[in-house]
A and B are shown apart, each in its own frame.
Chain A
């Protein structure tokens, strides 16, 4: 299989997001810290091996920090107000006397079991975040938006502009803070924040208007001779279909959801969406520059994500020992072999994805 698909090129963004979603689903299906840490390590290793050299790719670090903060918040919440089960009391904090029927504890006993459970819970959330971060840095949302089917293109642009608002606001904040400093005002503190909010938003909004003008000048939204009704039909079909698929998958994944919300909705939704895409691609006049191909590496990356998700879900439903490790915190949890093997499969993209294009060194000086 050493054809042209192995030449340096960026992998199809959808493949990366499927793979990362697989990891995230797997993380959601277990609370075993050993497996969770293994998933984080796998995600990190793949990011390290296949992360492109773009400003967006450095967002991985930010996601890692957010994940740590989430973990910390979960534990701190438990320590002060969480549900205090278990019998091995580690320390007893002064307890705020509240009526028992409020169901809330403030202070009081901290148990080993409770602490470990909260740690595992936080770790699970953190792992999901790390997976999203990995997808973000391997394939930016902008690239993902580009592969939106023609019928959904305008929705994609709206999302794209909204997404670009945040970095614009950050850049604008930088300029405003510099200006305050140059005029001898403090650039930190609450009072400063109030003085800066308006110019920052103004700057970011102006940039959004500029963007709209720039897109129009470059021919965005040319309608040509396509009837407006056809365009609307295509967009409506696609949107309805996608929403139905989302609701259907929720029904499939949630135990206890009504049957109709599951498979029938998902299948029916897919059909409607496909009809929408078909109508849309017939009316869209847009063409696409160098579309990412979907070839063997894409299949294998997406499949490795699916394998992880499936293995974890199966193991969890079958009640394999070690998928829920909170029962006896003092013991080292069992590690189910099936899940561990599947985690190893998720490492595949580090090799299966084509290597990156060689970029020239990117100087970050634009000041």
Chain B
């Protein structure tokens, strides 16, 4: 269905090709997962499929890409629109119209589909993706999960034979991600659609894949194979695979269900062993954030409802909850971007929203969901100089970084580190991060975990909002779960995440009722055991 023949793709002004000599043949009706670290060329590979590379991105493409027999050299994306449906990383950037129904119909209007057929397909797609009760709503008022499903639906109605999705679940909470993946598997099974999906959060997708394409980057050859085979050696791997590899399970389990079967003896072995204690920092620090009866609303829609919360230095607090539960509102109120409707918020001895900006940043720093929003200079060096002593901080956080690069050209992880360095140059005792792992690969995530632990050790409180249960398992000392603006649970990370299946990390699910959260914790416990 999709065939790459000796494809080498080079962006304009790039010294190295983003993809080198890729040969690939994806059969019809497969769900094919593309894995690799950030910057390895996953997105480029996807963009080659419908000709966005090179027709829209510029640059040169050697070799040949054919989809359903059509060559992308002679067919621009619009001429492939009836064969390939493409959904980019940011669904909102791909919206063309204002409301759900119009967005679904847009592509069919371009293809000249007969009105009666159009109407029928829109209705079918609304049902297939569970969007029927928001059909008239303006797109910008939808939750992130609904927006993602509209974006998928808008290409699905054209009945493409191939669906290409770039990180379809990265912005979604675990239940919404499940919904999207369920819809995708239904397409593959019921309609025979070929799906090509790139994703960093393998723990969510790998068990549904029929094939895995591993893009190692740096010109190394692309590896294609069955999921279990590729995962044996892949440097990017979800916790279930890492546990399986560490314990030598064969065949390698890809889903929690398979791993539970393989882990029967491990569970027995760990039955009497206490999981490692969380680092005992929580009680020692001083209180730096106090919210009392904090209520926030947007033109009548309540985002937070009488929330009480205190945070001490040394704590790393994860704020979880579904899309639209009030996580971002909580962080932006702490950062002084928003005034509470009622109640008080006190950060390091002052109400942040009353402070002038130069005062506020010395008390609290916020890294927004898109760290690039904070950066405005045209080189890393100038960005650091603009923020004072950030260059040195950046080196501590991220190691050596090419100071002459444009911040846009950094990897996601480096850009996050740069934004952190810029914010930390004002030395705030409170650091807030909104969805810090969006777009980060496992390696970058590990570095982030180390960074956060070090920062919390320096008499600082960290609060981050996330959907990433694995990150929470790794680094959080405490978890606050928000739902519809209320705090529904607040306690030590280990207790909160193992209490609810939606927020439990894979290792906890595999080893329940034993309370282990990470592969590292299991390994440590086994190492302490007499052999």
**A residues at B contact (CB < 8 Å):** 54-56, 140, 142, 175-176, 178-187, 195, 199, 207, 210-211, 213-222, 224, 285-291, 357, 359-360, 362-367
Contact = CB atoms under 8 A, between A and B. Distances in A.
Contact of A222 (B111, B134, B374, B376): B111
A365 B77 contact: no
Contacts of B55: 216
A187 B155 CA distance: 40
B360 A178 contact: no
A214 B94 contact: yes
B422 A183 contact: yes
Contacts of B298: 364-365, 367
Given A182-B335, A183-B374, A289-B122, A215 B96 contact: yes
B125 interface: no
Contacts of A222: 78-79, 81, 110-111
Given A54-B98, A214-B95, A218-B158, 18 more contacts: A55-B140, A55-B141, A183-B361, A184-B362, A199-B376, A213-B52, A214-B88, A218-B81, A218-B96, A218-B107, A219-B82, A222-B78, A285-B112, A287-B112, A289-B118, A290-B115, A364-B298, A366-B141
Tell which of A187, A207, A222 has the most Cβ of chain B within 10 Å: A222
Contacts of A216: 55-56, 76-78
A289 B94 contact: no
Contact of B78 (A199, A220, A359): A220
Contacts of A288: 109, 115
B114 interface: yes
B111 A182 contact: no
Contacts of B106: 218
B368 interface: yes
A221 B52 CA distance: 15
Interface of B: 50, 52, 55-56, 76-79, 81-82, 86, 88, 93-99, 101-102, 105-115, 118-119, 122, 133-134, 136-138, 140-143, 154-155, 158, 298-301, 303, 324, 328-329, 332, 335-337, 356-358, 360-362, 365-366, 368, 373-374, 376, 387, 422-423, 426
A184 B422 CA distance: 11
A171 to B, nearest CB: 9
8 contacts: A54-B99, A217-B52, A218-B106, A218-B110, A222-B81, A285-B112, A287-B118, A365-B303
A365 B301 contact: yes
Contact of A359 (B56, B122, B136, B368): B136
A55 B98 CA distance: 10
Nearest to A222: B78
Nearest to B367: A182
A287 B115 contact: yes
Contacts of A215: 96
Nearest to B111: A219
Contacts of A365: 298, 301, 303, 324, 329
Given A219-B110, A287-B113, A362 B303 contact: no
A365 B330 CA distance: 13
A109 B137 CA distance: 56
B105 A290 contact: yes
Contacts of A199: 376
Contact of A289 (B76, B86, B96, B105): B105
A56 B303 CA distance: 23
A178 B78 contact: no
Nearest to A363: B301
B145 to A, nearest CB: 12
A360 B133 contact: yes
B79 A207 contact: no
A210 to B, nearest CB: 4
A289 B154 contact: no
A286 to B, nearest CB: 5
Nearest to A188: B357
B196 to A, nearest CB: 14
A287 B116 CA distance: 10
B361 A184 contact: yes
Given A214-B96, A286-B110, A182 B133 contact: no
Interface centre among A187, A210, A291, A357 (most CB of B within 10 A): A210
A218 B119 CA distance: 17
A367 B141 contact: no
Contacts of B158: 218-219
Counting chain A CB atoms within 10 Å of each CB, the highest count among B76, B109, B133, B142 belongs to B109
